[in-house]
Amino acid sequence: MGRLARRLRVAAPSGRLPGARSAAALSAAAVVGLTGLGLGGQLVSRGQASEAAVVHASRAPYARTAPQAPTAPQAPTAQLAAARTVPQPTVTAVQPAGRRPAQSGSQSPSAHAQAQSFGQIILPDLLIVAPKGLTRQQITRLGAIPGVRNMITFDGAQITAGGRSVSAIGVDPATFRSWVPVRTASDQAFWTALSRGEFVAADSAGQRLQLKPGAGYRLSGAVSEIVTFGSAARLALNGVDLLVNQTMSHRLGLVHQVAALISAPGATMTRLTTAVSAILGPTGRMESLRSQQLPAAGTASGTVPTTYLQLFKDAAAQQCPGLSWTVLAAIGQIESADGTNVGPSTAGALGPMQFLPSTWARWGIDGPGQTGPPNVLNPYDAVPSAARLLCADGAGRGGRSLYNAIFDYNHADWYVREVLGLAAQYAADYN
């Protein structure tokens, strides 16, 4: 997607606003503008946009977007307008059948709180785009690639905002937040705004377009909507300018399931990209994201981590010398990412490292740069707290002591073997 040269204008609404253009008139501009990928697809009308279906590979579950209940209709408009309140959509989480109760959270929150909860940690390895949208068969085959643990699909297209071309994607906030950098995933205001129907932006796009929080902007896809801008944050997804939730994506007519993120710590990038390319065919595009997870060298002590790997490494070094960061990364992946678990488990566990209330009350601590009572939903608190708990059980001594500490975290031999196996894969792929 070409970079925007001029900033968006913010203006108050005036008089009667013209109607939206037709989907046919927009089809030539319906391009997913991911930098360097050059991908296109046709915008669809509201009636054509179908809800995402949840698919799980038989060999291993992976995360997918869950459909949102529609909000009250909003009148289409044409010019930039003042901000307005948008009804809060309902976010539905999907948990694979047979998912075991996690051991380690707080008391069950309300449905609204669950929609706002942070429940997963996922390290994205690959961004893929299919210009005409991913088929159900392709999604199933992608999930069955050896080493793939998690996958999420989302809508997208190149639309206009205030008359300027921008690349927008439509996501489920409750699940998509697990795929972005830890600082953004922990930014509650960002996800609350997206959940209630506002649009948010990549920090680079927010600065380039000079977007003003609380102002309304005309987003034009298959139809036009005046949508309030919430906030901006780092997404680490090249070429993605704006995010809307699934309800707004449906209204704007973004291309359904045009893109996906894949987490495959059990596969080398060569094997992964070869397998994905065979499934997508010649029109598919992909971009490796694994290198973006690596922490910056020489991070100063006390600095708030910006990536999950940096958070895992800092937590292991500070809370449990001798414990490999890869064990923390594996527990974070296995505990919370094998299913869209945004609420408490059947055992009452909550948060990205799945703590029980009693366990959290004893071992929960504030992480780097955090203040106030430790928050089980905050990965900055949850990850070092998990390292502290593991260390008290002897994890830093390695060998059988490490095995026993992981067993104490979740009382199952298969769980220990899975954590250690995934930790070895992280060590091979990321070190």
pTM score of the predicted model: 0.72
What's the confidence (pLDDT) of residue 54?
Answer: 26
- pLDDT over 70 percentage in the chain: 67
What's the confidence (pLDDT) of residue 292?
Answer: 72
Distance between CA atoms of residues 376 and 374, nearest Å: 7
For residues 79 and 295, which has the higher predicted lDDT (pLDDT)? 295
Question: How confident is the model over 29-55, as a mean pLDDT?
Answer: 41
Select the CATH number that applies to the domain covering 293-430 from these four: 1.10.10, 1.10.530, 3.30.1380, 1.10.357: 1.10.530
Residue 179 DSSP symbol: G
**Residue 313 corresponds to which amino acid?**
K
Model confidence pLDDT, tens digit, residues 410-422: 888 999 999 999 9
What's the confidence (pLDDT) of residue 261?
Answer: 96
Q: Is the pLDDT of residue 339 over 50?
A: no
What's the confidence (pLDDT) of residue 426?
Answer: 87
For residues 340 and 57, which has the higher predicted lDDT (pLDDT)? 340
Distance between CA atoms of residues 192 and 228, nearest Å: 13
- pLDDT over 90 percentage in the chain: 48
What's the confidence (pLDDT) of residue 338?
Answer: 46
Q: How many CB atoms lie within 10 A of CB 354?
A: 31
Domain spans of the chain?
23-67+75-87+118-288, 293-430
Question: How confident is the model over 148-153, as a mean pLDDT?
Answer: 92
Cβ neighbours of residue 278 closer than 8 Å, sequence gap 6 or more = none
What's the confidence (pLDDT) of residue 295?
Answer: 56
**Residue 160 corresponds to which amino acid?**
T
Model confidence pLDDT, tens digit, residues 166-192: 999 999 998 898 899 988 988 889 999
CA distances from 147 to 59, 65, 219, 333, 334 (A): 10, 20, 38, 13, 13
Helices (H), 258-346: 269-280, 308-319, 325-336
How large is the C-alpha radius of gyration of the chain? 21
What's the confidence (pLDDT) of residue 293?
Answer: 67
What's the confidence (pLDDT) of residue 96?
Answer: 27
In this prediction, residue 302 has a pLDDT band, given cuts at 50, 70 and 90, of low
What's the confidence (pLDDT) of residue 256?
Answer: 93
Distance between CA atoms of residues 76 and 225, nearest Å: 5
Question: How confident is the model over 269-291, as a mean pLDDT?
Answer: 93
Distance between CA atoms of residues 424 and 352, nearest Å: 21
What's the confidence (pLDDT) of residue 368?
Answer: 83
The burial class, CB within 10 Å (0-12 / 13-18 / 19+), for 292 is middle
Summary mean pLDDT of the chain:
74
Of 19-23, 185-189, 261-265, give the lowest mean pLDDT range.
19-23
Model confidence pLDDT, tens digit, residues 362-404: 999 988 888 889 988 889 999 999 999 999 999 999 999 999 9
